[in-house]
Each structure stands twice: as C-alpha cells, then as structure tokens.
Amino acid sequence: MRKIAVLTSGGDAPGMNAAIRAVVRKGIFENLEVYGVSHGYEGLINNQIKKMELGDVGDIIHRGGTKLYSARSEEFLTLAGQNKAVANLKNLGIEGLIVIGGDGSYRGASRLSELGIKTIGIPATIDNDIAGTNETIGYDTALNTIVDMIDKIRDTATSHERTFIIEVMGRDSGQLALNAGLAAGAETIFIPERQTKMSDVAARIQSGLERGKKHSLIVLAEGVMSAESCSLELGKYINIETRLSVLGHIQRGGKPTAKDRVLGSRFGAYAVELLLDGQTDVGTSIKDDKMYFVELKSVYNQKKNYDSSIYQLSKELSI
Ligand SMILES: Nc1ncnc2c1ncn2[C@@H]1O[C@H](COP(=O)(O)OP(=O)(O)OP(=O)(O)O)[C@@H](O)[C@H]1O
Ligand SMILES: O=P(O)(O)OC[C@H]1O[C@](O)(CO)[C@@H](O)[C@@H]1O
Ligand SMILES: [Mg+2]
C-alpha cells in the first residue's frame, strides 16, 4: 500500500484533530502518501481530496473541532453515492481509508470495504456510544465540559434554592448524563437505557425538602425527553419552581483534554499500522489502556452497555 486517506464524519469531537495529525505523520513516517478528505463522505463523493504534508497538521493538536470538517451525507447512503466515492479514491490510486467518526460513519466504512477500499474506523464521538471500546475520542472532553457547566449551575441553584433540569447530549446513550451526573453530584439522572419514574423523582425531592435540602440538580439525557417536557411531567407530582438549562453544542466544542489528545494520537497511529498489516473493515479500540482492533460489523450491530452500578452509586450518594 502506497497511498492512504483520512476523513472525519458525523458529529465532530474534540481530539479528532490529534487523530488526523497522527494518521498523517505516522503515514509519512512509514513512507506513505497521505490524503485528507474534507467534509466526510460528502467530500469523498465531490472529490474534495488533497495530499497532506507534515506541516498541514501543525498547530492543531490542541484545537477542538476537525480541520478536515465533518458532514452527514445523504447521498452516501445510496449505492450511486458510494460508487462515486470509490471511483474518486481509485482514480487517485488510494487503497486505504481511515474513517474517524461514530457508529453511522462505521456503517459507511463497512460499505466501502465491501466495495474494495480497505477501511479502518477510529471511534470518535462525544456520546461514547460505540461498542467494543471503553472510550471514544471526545467523550472525556465533553464530560469535563458538562461537569464544569453543572458546577456553575450548582452555584446559582444553591443560592436561590432551586431545582434545575440540565439537558445534556445523548440521543440513544446515557454515558454523558450518567457520568456527568455522578461527577457533579446530581440528585437525579435520566438516561435512555433505563426507566426512571417521575413519581420517584418527586418523592426524592420532597423528602429532601423535608430534611431542609432546598436545591436539586436533575441531569437529563436528551434522548429521554426535553427539559421542558421533564419540567411539565415533574410538575404533575410536586409543586416546585424549576429552571431549565439545555447545554447544547457547547458540549461538542473546546480544546481536547490531555486524555483525548493521547487517545486520538494512539488511535491514529494504530489505524495506519492496521492498514499496513492488510486489515480492513475493523475499528480501533482501547481496553485496559491497550490498543485492540474489532470488526466494524460487531461494533455497530451491538449496543454499548452502560454500567448500572454507576447509576446505583449516584443514587446512594445523592440522597
Ligand atoms: N447504513 C449506512 N450506510 C452507509 N453510510 C452510512 C450509513 N449510516 C450512516 N452512514 C454515513 O455516515 C454519516 C455519519 O453517520 P451519523 O450521522 O449517524 O453520525 P455518526 O458517525 O454515528 O456520529 P455521531 O452519532 O457521533 O454524530 C452519515 O451521514 C452517512 O453519510
Ligand atoms: O449537531 P447535530 O447534527 O444537531 O447532532 C447532534 C447530535 O450529535 C451528537 O452530539 C453526537 O455527535 C449527539 O449527542 C447529538 O444528539
Ligand atoms: Mg452515531
């Protein structure tokens, strides 16, 4: 293999730049030509593919977002779009592609592998919803951002003795809500993976009030319901004033933590090694601080488990 390419796809995640840098520099170190594809699969279809040099990835390791831009591509869901992408890669003599993204991006990478391009996935999404790896790039940064923001909300919640409902990202996954809730000492955590009865939440708030506790923090994963619906539902069981805070895309930005930079760098270099070993249709993974690879299909056909003991612990510690 002489020529490889790299792209970022799906929601961006802090640490993607560290991974791009590692792919480019490790590739060049191994005497490969490395190409950068802008705008994910959309750029692959539109031939936005450029050769990258060592200097092209200078001064990005500490930046959030992705230098290669990201996109969600409708056209790539069609066979015609996928064929265009493959033709553009083949025209340039590119045999291997590294896809940095989430589970949807992994499905796209698998399709390309079936169509004759060797593909390696790197898990990158703040949601940490990818099976087969303990962590994804961007999760640690987003978690720290959320905890920082909840700390700020706690200050004002305490001063005004209020209940706050804080909506965090995670359509199908409660990883962010669960761990941010524990780290920020939230009284209640709602996650899509498990049902929480509103009557129980109201009862906990009521018993807290009776013990003289006047403020309460509720962390809600967006996939469960909106903060507004949560407030209306809660109002059916208890008569308290609530304030809502939807954290939104602030959670996806910001400079990556050291952990995400290390993870991005290790995954990027490892993905190049996997291509050189002739692997395809696999993704990088980390467990017990070691690099592994897993079949992409086994990743996106599985739902990542959440740790119910963390949920239980947060309940025990926040009475
Ligand atoms: N089944 C599929 N076949 C081919 N391509 C797909 C498929 N599913 C998704 N893709 C491609 O991958 C892109 C990114 O997928 P998606 O929007 O689900 O984000 P993701 O990679 O899961 O990241 P995140 O969920 O963290 O934002 C899609 O826009 C589409 O172009
Ligand atoms: O930026 P968009 O396209 O609105 O996507 C938001 C979604 O992307 C994610 O941030 C994952 O990248 C989810 O947590 C969130 O639901
Ligand atoms: Mg996804």
Amino acid 213: pLDDT:
85
Contact by Cβ (8 Å): 85, 105: no
Q: How far is the CA of 160 from the centre of ligand 3 (A)?
A: 38
Q: Residue 117 and residue 78: Cα distance in Å, rounded?
A: 17
Q: For residues 264 and 103, what is the distance between their CA atoms, to the nearest angstrom? A: 17
Angle at 205 (CA atoms; ends 199, 207), nearest 5 degrees: 100
Residue 169 in marked binding region: yes
- With a 6 Å cutoff on the Cβ, whether 25 touches ligand 2 is no
* Pair 100, 107: CB distance under 8 Å: no
Measured CA to CA, the distance from residue 276 to residue 279 in angstroms comes to 7
CB 61 within 8 A of CB 12: no
Amino acid identity at 161: E
| Cβ–Cβ under 8 Å, residues 164 and 218 | yes
Query: Please, are residues 99 and 108 in contact by the beta-carbon 8 Å criterion?
Result: yes
Class of the CATH domain delimited by 3-138+256-300: alpha beta
What is the rounded distance in angstroms from the CA atom of residue 51 to the CA atom of residue 24?
A: 10
Residues with a known catalytic role: 127
Copy the structure tokens of residue 314.
């947060």
For the chain, 319 residues long, the average pLDDT of each consecutive 10-residue run is 97 98 98 98 98 98 98 97 98 98 97 98 97 97 98 95 96 96 96 95 91 91 98 96 96 98 98 98 98 97 94 90
Which amino acid residue places its CA nearest to atom 9 of ligand 2?
Answer: 11
Domain spans in the chain, listed from the N-terminal domain onward: 3-138+256-300, 139-253
Please tell me if the domain spanning 3-138+256-300 has the same topology as the one spanning 139-253.
yes
Distance CA 39, CA 16 (A): 13
Q: Which ligand is nearest to the Cα of residue 82, counting in written order?
A: 1
Q: Specify the residue with its C-alpha closest to ligand 2, atom 12.
A: 11
Identify the CA nearest to 295 among candidates 174, 143, 120: 120
For residue 214, the model assigns a pLDDT of: 78
72 belongs to an annotated ligand binding site: yes
Structure ipTM: 0.98
Given the candidates 3.30.365.10, 3.40.50.460, 3.40.50.720, 3.40.640.10, the CATH classification of the domain at 139-253 is 3.40.50.460
